[in-house]
Chain A
Amino acid sequence: MTETAMTQTPKSRFQNFDFKTAGPAIALILLCIIGFLLNPAFLSEGNITNLLTRSAFIGIIAVGATFVITAGGIDLSVGSMAAVIAGVMIIVMNGAVDTFGTGVTTVLIGCGCSVILGIGAGFINGFLTTKGKIEAFIVTLGTMGIFRSLVTYFADGGTLSLNYDIRGVYRPVYYDSFAGLPIPVWVFIVVAICGWLLLNRTAFGRYCTAIGSNESVARYSAIQVDRIKTWTYVLQGLCVSLATIIYVPRLGSASSSTGVLWELEAIAAVIIGGTVLKGGYGRIGGTILGALILTTIGNILNFTDMISNYLNGTMQGLIIIVAVWLQRGDWGRKHKNN
């Protein structure tokens, strides 16, 4: 309904659109002001760098989730997928030490393995959803449990730790900077730009939007719905594997508690950013702001002792709801009608 109204009146569409775009940005700026007022150290260079680096994991995964959700799907398995990929990467790299030494080759083998696993896991999700004709929610709920228990199994219930010598070689991928920005942030930027181009400037992006709006119409319009939908899950898997590649060097370990609830954070980032949960409309830029907002909330709560620790969840929940309300609420449109 909103969309038809928007296309009918171009002038009001402009005003309305502007508000929707600005919503997440306004929320983020407000959060930053609050953070600065609570403690000026919030805007210190070190903290901003930490914030951006921390957002990179959820942000990269959320870029993939934007495609899945825009095409009308959902992927609940990303957190567990990240954990199992991290676990297998560590096992493979530890195993490769004997043959390939502790150099760059071993790290590249680990990264290659991560990409293959990510794409493979994404393909399984996509294939079961499209060809298996099972709801995405159920497929990915199933794979979520499978991936999570696999990492527990691989780690024998404990923690998988990366060989200490490889850690030295791999560590810079998380901790080093290039031109003032940490490498994870660069990866995040590149993934975001690629995601934006793919969604807004290619046929694939338009197909995703079309499928999300109305799958039957898309099918009658000769869009290969199954193939495109499967691709969105493969893309999601690839994003998870990239996030894992920059996650592993941080602490060099993976356990059953790795990536817990990342799926909900990624979905929340996508929705806060203005993408519609039921599909048909997606915004990469918003997703990135959404990821930044989520990380900033946690960061601000660590910067103050005004709020009881036990109420952290309440604050997060309130801010998420307000951030979405800022762009969905009727107050913008009332203003327009006057």
Chain B
Amino acid sequence: MKTLSKISTLAAAATMSLAGLASAETIKIGVSYPTPTHAWAAGMNWHAEQAEKRLEALYPDVDLVLINSPDPSAQASALEDLVSVHGIDALVVLPFESEPLTDPVLNVKKSGALITVVDRGLSQPGIEDIYVAGNNPELGRVSAQYMKTRLESGDNIVVLRGIPTLIDNERFDAFMAEMEGSGVNILDHKHANWNRDDGFEVMQDFLSRFPDIDAVWAQDDDIAIGVVAALKQAGRDGDGMFVVGGAGMKETIKGIMDGNELVPVDVLYPPSMIATAMDVTVAAFKSNGPVAGRYILGATLITKENAASFYFPDSPF
């Protein structure tokens, strides 16, 4: 009995030191995000895979482990596995939902790993070392600024919103605040749920309801596709009418490069932010400069001039 326990302690010690040896040699970084079920997330998945290939080629001692999960509890289990099975040194996580994943991420932090949170914040401050996110209010503001350059006082616009969520409210409120005092009439705003079909139907109804519309803020590229179809159906796509979407879908950006007058610009809310987060996390191990902190990406206005640098023809989004 005694010898047996001695052997097992020895074995345990050996594995521990082996694991220690392994982690001394390679830097293991877990990347966890929701399973892509819509185009934007599929784009994120694609960019994460691209970043994995690029970073592993650049640094042979860096090993990135990509895991996607279909729901919050699966993601919580995935995080546990990343610690227990892979023994990660750092975690890049886009939480499914803030509330249920705060504790699991906190547990990963307790194991000593560096934490990078992407896009959706946790419900407790101070857990993450690095935070990378797009800028929702900025998306609304930049869209409104562009609208103001094209419109005059007395012009009419309609607004199509996303799914009623905090993200949608932040974008919408910032847009309305920026438009205030411009004299442009915002005829009405309706939710089109970031969905092409809903965008089409809501726009059809706006067109029946308002005989004079000068521009549309669709907030999102999917909605914008529905809006454009409705405008063309009603034959109201001429006369300087324009639609501003958002996100950075490759088809939209291609259109901007080709000089599409109906959708002349796009406002970036890039799925590639996961790649930024992976880069910054690797830099935490490789760079001689400090990297901890909050990285809020700009909501860049994509125009014909700069579109090429945001165009990824192989990405699903």
Contacts and interface: CB of A to CB of B under 8 A. Distances in A.
A binds B: yes
Contacts, number: 83
Contact of B229 (A44, A251, A309): A251
A39 B187 CA distance: 14
Interface stretch (A67-75, A136-144, A253-261, A265-273): A253-261
Given A41-B209, A302-B209, A158 B42 contact: yes
Given A47-B208, A305-B188, A309-B164, A156 B316 contact: yes
A157 B196 contact: no
A159 interface: yes
B229 A250 contact: yes
B217 interface: no
Contacts of A46: 207-208, 234
A50 B233 CA distance: 10
B233 A175 contact: yes
B50 to A, nearest CB: 14
Nearest to A259: B197
A161 B204 CA distance: 22
Contacts of B226: 251
Contacts of B41: 157
Contacts of A310: 164
Interface string A112-145: 0000000000000000000000000000000000
A155 B196 contact: no
Given A157-B36, A251-B196, A309-B189, A44 B42 contact: no
Interface in B28-54: 35-39, 41-43, 45
Nearest to A149: B37
A156 to B, nearest CB: 5
A256 B38 contact: yes
A152 interface: yes
A310 B165 CA distance: 10
Contacts of A54: 201, 204
Interface in A142-200: 152, 155-159, 161, 175
A316 interface: no
B205 interface: yes
Contacts of A312: 191
Given A251-B225, A255-B39, A302 B205 contact: yes
Interface string B203-215: 0111111000000
Contacts of B316: 155-159
A253 B38 CA distance: 13
A250 B208 contact: no
Given A302-B206, A309-B189, A158 B43 contact: yes
B42 A156 contact: yes
B120 interface: no
B156 interface: no
A154 to B, nearest CB: 11
Interface residues of B, number: 36
A21 interface: no
A316 to B, nearest CB: 13
A257 B205 CA distance: 21
Contacts of A47: 205, 208
A161 B39 CA distance: 12
* Interface range for A: 20 to 34
A250 B188 contact: no
B159 to A, nearest CB: 11
A298 B45 contact: no
Contacts of A251: 196-197, 200, 225-226, 229
B155 interface: no
A265 to B, nearest CB: 12
A303 B36 CA distance: 34
Contacts of B109: none
B161 interface: yes
Contact of A158 (B35, B39, B164, B204): B39
Contacts of B207: 46
Nearest to B35: A157
A157 B195 CA distance: 15
A16 interface: no
A72 to B, nearest CB: 32
Given A175-B233, A305-B188, A157 B208 contact: no
Given A50-B208, A158-B316, A250-B200, 9 more contacts: A54-B201, A159-B39, A159-B316, A250-B197, A250-B229, A255-B39, A302-B206, A302-B209, A303-B208
9 contacts: A41-B208, A44-B208, A46-B208, A250-B229, A257-B38, A302-B190, A302-B206, A303-B208, A309-B164
The 4 closest A-B pairs by CB, nearest first: A157-B42, A158-B316, A157-B36, A302-B205
